[in-house]
Chain A
Amino acid sequence: MLFEDIWKILTNGELMGYYFQGFLHTIIVTFIAVGIGLILGFAVAIIKISAGNYKFMKIPAVICNLYTTVFRGTPVALQLFIMVFAVFAIPGFKPAAAIITFGINSGAYVSENIRAGITSVDNGQMEAGRAMGLNWLQTMIRIILPQAVKNIIPAIGNEMIALLKETSIISMVGSTVGTLTFDLNFASRTAYKTVTNYLATGIIAAVFYLAVVYFMVFIIKIIERKLGSNDKRGKHI
């Protein structure tokens, strides 16, 4: 019965079209949100950390703290509704508003990952740079960040994977075929109208999600390996 239903979907061009469209939209939404999250998270982390050195960064740092507290402390679904139906209640702007929400939400987590990565670098590295006459920013960019990246990449990888799965709630704000809110999850719900078997429609969506996650893990592993070989060179000669 199950295999029969799965087969029914796989051989149905229209349904598979929905799945591929959803697959593509899920990737696009995740990709853009990850980009927003990375840029925002990086900026917020640097602002928070620089407040220890530059007095004029104190107020921006307070704002950043408020931001991370709010966005990590409330459900994404709630944020999505508020952003789509209140903050950005502009006709036709729904998919963009949703993507921005995921990006901002992700940025809050990413900033904490980056901050933790930076603070895990021995403080002596900053002191040595400063003692030689580099300023804070120069030391941060050339000495601290390159060492922090190794600690940050795995955490950011996990965050990206979590974000991919989080985007599955995007259709909660309403979804129509052909717009970015029509994601993998909604494709499987659409397929259910034809093949009334949640297990079958779900399994196919799951396979698509797994494929993306697997691909992400693969990329992260490559990056980690590249970075890992950098400053350990010479250790095993």
Chain B
Amino acid sequence: MINAVNIYKNFGKNEVIKGASLNIEKAERVVIIGPSGGGKSTLLRCLNLLEEVTSGEVILDGKLISPPDAYLHEDILRLSKTYKRLQKEGKSDEDIISEIRAKRLLKNGEGFAFKRALKETSAKYGQDINVARRKMGMVFQQFNLFNNMTVMQNLVYVPVKLKVLTKEEAKKKAENLLARINLSDKKDAYPSSLSGGQKQRVAIIRSLMMNPEVMLFDEPTSALDPEMVGEVLSLIKDLANEGMTMVIVTHEMGFAREVATRVLFIDGGKIAEDDVPEEIFSRPKNPRLKEFLSKVL
């Protein structure tokens, strides 16, 4: 469903994600764990391009949603000035391509033909990011409910605006979802009057309003008071049981173990371990993962 290929992400000179590849299949529940500052949020946000990737490609249902990455296309690399320069040195085609890739030699201004090839690729295989994002629900640590709208407006505004649902459908769906989380009486309240747990549950059903194929959670319970963590986790577990595809960044190890079909350990901008929860928690191999688990468990 989501394919992330060789993702790099720099913030200025700071390399935060250094070549991460990740494949998420339908109905998988991938939990991302790792030390603070390791790049968990950044990687997650690269999946729906809230962070523009520096290089690498993100593919959703077979469609390219990031700009095409020249490093991944040999035919495009051959059109670059860098390739032509190295060719004059008499090296073999294979050597040149691998050298460009290994040393990430491309600069701005690789020529007109090169740029046109990138454009053509994106026209041929690409999908508009705004359309792609409708299929990917995102839940934030800070909830990010629209503060200028009531709970009901938060739920119906975007799906109606983007014509995912009609007004009537949206209203009905919103009422059902509110009933499900026992917040029907709050539909005309503004976010500022809700508790953290209530806000986060509304944020989750707001994502569900768009009928997403996959949900991305970035530490959904980290900003909550301890007594509210349970209600949010149990809603997420319910979605898991219904077969929703999910990617979850969390520090809740018990929850990770319970809900995950797969766990990624991210450290220093790389996926350092990728396995089923039993293996990760019972038989960790990576020394950094062992150290991390000994601290958090």
Residues of A within 8 A of B (CB): 122, 124-125, 127-135, 138, 142-143, 146-147, 230-235, 237
Give CA–CA (A76, B163) in the complex, Å: 50
Question: Which label, helix, strand, loop or mixed, suits the secondary structure of the A interface?
Answer: helix
Instruction: List chain A residues, Cβ under 8 A from B192.
Output: 231-232, 234-235
Binary contact track B31-67/A, C-beta < 8 Å → 1, others 0: 0000000000000000010100000000000000000
Distance to closest chain A CB from B160 (angstroms): 12
Most buried by A among B50, B133, B158, B162: B158
Instruction: List chain B residues, Cβ under 8 A from A131.
Output: 48, 50, 133, 136-138, 140
Number of A-B contacts (CB under 8 A): 77
Cβ–Cβ contact A237 & B148, under 8 A: no
Cβ–Cβ contact A134 & B158, under 8 A: yes
Instruction: List chain A residues, Cβ under 8 A from B157.
Output: 142
Give CA–CA (A16, B168) in the complex, Å: 63
Cβ–Cβ contact B50 & A127, under 8 A: yes
Supply 23 A–B pairs (Cβ within 8 Å), ascending by A.
Answer: A122-B142, A124-B140, A124-B142, A125-B146, A127-B50, A127-B144, A128-B138, A129-B146, A130-B130, A131-B136, A132-B138, A132-B207, A133-B134, A134-B130, A134-B158, A134-B162, A143-B146, A146-B148, A231-B149, A234-B188, A234-B192, A235-B193, A237-B193
Distance to closest chain A CB from B195 (angstroms): 13
Cβ–Cβ contact A234 & B190, under 8 A: yes
Supposing A147-B148, A231-B147 touch, asked if A134 and B190 sit within 8 A by C-beta, the answer is: no
Cβ–Cβ contact A234 & B161, under 8 A: no
Which listed residue (B143, B148, B189) contacts A234, Cβ 8 A? B189
- B210 on interface, CB distance cutoff 8 Å: yes
Supposing A132-B133, A132-B134, A134-B130 touch, asked if A231 and B148 sit within 8 A by C-beta, the answer is: yes
- B131 on interface, CB distance cutoff 8 Å: yes
Instruction: List chain A residues, Cβ under 8 A from B210.
Output: 132-133
Cβ–Cβ contact B162 & A231, under 8 A: no
Give CA–CA (A124, B137) in the complex, Å: 15
Which listed residue (B50, B133, B134, B147) contacts A125, Cβ 8 A? B147
Give CA–CA (A156, B141) in the complex, Å: 34
Top 10 closest pairs, chain A to chain B, by CB: A128-B144, A131-B138, A234-B193, A124-B144, A133-B134, A146-B148, A133-B133, A234-B189, A132-B158, A234-B190
Instruction: List chain A residues, Cβ under 8 A from B190.
Output: 231-235
Which listed residue (A128, A130, A230) contacts B145, Cβ 8 A? A128
Distance to closest chain A CB from B201 (angstroms): 15
Give CA–CA (A124, B45) in the complex, Å: 13
Give CA–CA (A233, B133) in the complex, Å: 31
Query: Which A-chain residue is minimally distant from B142 (CB atoms)?
Result: A124
Give CA–CA (A142, B146) in the complex, Å: 10
Give CA–CA (A125, B148) in the complex, Å: 10
Instruction: List chain A residues, Cβ under 8 A from B131.
Output: 133
| Size band of the interface chain B makes with A | 20 to 34
Give CA–CA (A72, B58) in the complex, Å: 45
Which listed residue (B130, B188, B193, B203) contacts A135, Cβ 8 A? B130
Distance to closest chain B CB from A140 (angstroms): 12
Distance to closest chain A CB from B50 (angstroms): 6
Query: Which B-chain residue is minimally distant from A146 (CB atoms)?
Result: B148
Query: Which B-chain residue is minimally distant from A230 (CB atoms)?
Result: B148
**Which chain B residues (175-211) contact chain A, with CB distance < 8 Å?**
188-190, 192-193, 203, 206-207, 210
Query: Which B-chain residue is minimally distant from A132 (CB atoms)?
Result: B158
Give CA–CA (A64, B210) in the complex, Å: 38
Supposing A127-B50, A133-B134, A231-B190 touch, asked if A143 and B142 sit within 8 A by C-beta, the answer is: no
Give CA–CA (A213, B210) in the complex, Å: 49
Instruction: List chain B residues, Cβ under 8 A from A128.
Output: 138, 140, 144-146, 203
Instruction: List chain A residues, Cβ under 8 A from B138.
Output: 128, 131-132
Give CA–CA (A232, B148) in the complex, Å: 9
Supposing A131-B48, A132-B207, A234-B190 touch, asked if A138 and B133 sit within 8 A by C-beta, the answer is: no
Instruction: List chain B residues, Cβ under 8 A from A146.
Output: 148
Query: Which B-chain residue is minimally distant from A128 (CB atoms)?
Result: B144
Which listed residue (B143, B145, B162, B203) contacts A133, Cβ 8 A? B162
Give CA–CA (A140, B134) in the complex, Å: 18
Supposing A138-B161, A233-B190 touch, asked if A147 and B147 sit within 8 A by C-beta, the answer is: yes
Instruction: List chain A residues, Cβ under 8 A from B188.
Output: 234
Instruction: List chain B residues, Cβ under 8 A from A125.
Output: 144, 146-147
Give CA–CA (A125, B147) in the complex, Å: 8
9 further contact pairs, Cβ within 8 A, besides A132-B138, A231-B190? A122-B144, A127-B144, A130-B50, A131-B138, A132-B207, A133-B133, A134-B162, A234-B189, A235-B190
Give CA–CA (A142, B148) in the complex, Å: 9
Most buried by A among B140, B144, B192: B144
Instruction: List chain A residues, Cβ under 8 A from B189.
Output: 234
Give CA–CA (A124, B157) in the complex, Å: 17
Instruction: List chain A residues, Cβ under 8 A from B143.
Output: 124
